[in-house]
Structure 1
Amino acid sequence: MMNAKIMTRVSALAVVGALLAGCATEQGTNTAVGTGVGAGTGAALGAIFGGGKGAAIGAGVGAAVGGVTGYNWQNIKNKLGGATKGTGTQITEQPDGSLKLNIPSSVTFDTNSYAIKPSFAPVLSQVAQTLNQNPEVVAQVVGHTDSTGQPAYNQTLSVNRAQSVAQQLATDGVAPQRLSATGMGANQPIADNNTETGRAQNRRVEIYLRATAQHAQ
């Protein structure tokens, strides 16, 4: 019985590999230089080994491992920059080839809440539209809190907030297998938690966009 399950999973992986080998499409304005296994592989692995929730986790794993470097983010940065203007959102290219949106708590969620604020919805709508227009891009959502309160509570809150964002993107039409949600609690501060200004910076949602396939110009 165990051998049969293993063989089923191996066969499924072979099918996944075959599908991904033929999925490259042409994307004239966003040329990627370099390739990786991609989020599709990660999502498939998650689905095979962990069901629906595993698929979401797997997508993030695949994106982190397989994201390409040298991707041309300029058009996407321009679109998202317009949608996030005035929100305090920072959009930066990362050394691993991803594009990070750092969205402050003043836009995203009320205190102790994981219900998306009305001011956050237009930003997510534009992110979803961008993802739908660029099928080679996947998104990893990471929630963060400040150090106020119990660590276990902060961890749960950060996970719930990340999941709320991913669910909203899915509601806006993004395929769930292209999304992952992770909560870091207060474990990755970017400012001093001993000041109110620092705590406000630490309460944030980050969305990492990663390209996962090579596209010829």
Structure 2
Amino acid sequence: MKIKSVRLGGIVLAATLAAGCATQGGQTATGAGIGAALGAGLGALIGDSSKSAGIGAGIGAVAGGIVGYNWDRLRGNINDAGGQELGITTTQMPDGSLKVLIPEGATFDTGKYDLKPALYPVLNQVAAEMQSHQQLRVKSVGHTDSTGSVSINQPLSNNRASAVTNYLASQGVAHSRMTVEGRAANDPIASNDTAEGRRMNRRVELFLYAVE
């Protein structure tokens, strides 16, 4: 444990020093690969559990590395498009990506994967940002609660993640700039023992990131 702590401190320090070279204004930074290295280091040190894997590793390995990006404009536009009312939250991750957490109530009816029209304005903002900045990429990750079998939850989570990227594609974002993953009930953020916990676990997470 002591060795892990020392190594983790080294990784965070190196990333912090490199990030000091970053620029703002929605552009790339000189610290290319900072996020990828930090995410990989955290993943190796923390372990293989699904919750640990989400720390700085939502998008996985990225060829060429992640570069810095100022997400302030997009975060504001998402809120202005009704994101707050829909319960959507945005979080900048340690690897530099932006996580957009979209609860089931804002996106789908229970057990379905047809997007609700109320989500369109928010996704339109994501699409517009990606169209204006070609270095941006997105990974869409679908999650379910533990109710039901894997044979039901796995395709449901895949289909929900795909429904989001298909909509973005309809707004002009190339499929080659998007990836999809269904996690079923493997990555809960709350207890599946309560109705409220299950509600929170049913979600789609978008991980937006910039590449060189």
- Name the residue aligned to 1:201: 200
Stretches of structure 1 that go unaligned for 5 or more consecutive residues are 1-26, 37-59
4+ runs deviating over 4 angstroms: none
- For residue 189 of structure 2, what is the amino acid of its counterpart? I
Structure 2: segments with no counterpart, 5+ residues: 1-22, 34-58
How big is the shift at 1:32?
A: 2.5
> 1:28: Cα distance to partner?
7.7
Counterpart of 1:21 in structure 2 is none
Alignment check: 8 A CA contact 2:136 2:211 kept: yes
Contact conserved, 1:191 with 1:201, CA < 8 A, in 2? yes
> Residue 49 of structure 2 aligns with which residue?
none
| Structure 1 residues 1-217: aligned runs within 5 Å | 29-33=25-29, 34-36=31-33, 63=62, 66-68=65-67, 70-83=68-81, 84-213=83-212
Query: TM-score when scaled to structure 2?
Result: 0.72
Return the alpha-carbon distance in structure 1 between the equivalents of residues 74 and 119 of structure 2. Answer: 18
**Percent identity of paired positions between Structure 1 and Structure 2:** 44
Separation in 1 of the partners of 2:198 and 2:76?
A: 29
Would the aligned equivalents of 1:63 and 1:138 in 2 still touch at CA under 8 Å? no
- Structure (1 or 2) with the greater helix fraction: 1
Aligned counterparts of 2:194 and 2:63: Cα–Cα separation in 1: 32
Relative to 1, partners in 2 of residues 1:64 and 1:99: Cα closer, same or farther, differing over 3 Å? farther
SS at match of 2:199: helix
**How far did residue 106 of structure 1 move?**
0.5
| 1:84-119 CA-partner distances (Å, limit 9, x unpaired) | 131100100001110000000001111111111111
What is the number of residues matched between the two proteins? 165
Give the RMSD, CA atoms, in angstroms.
2.2
Q: TM-score, normalised by structure 1?
A: 0.70
Distance 2:80 2:142 in 1: 23
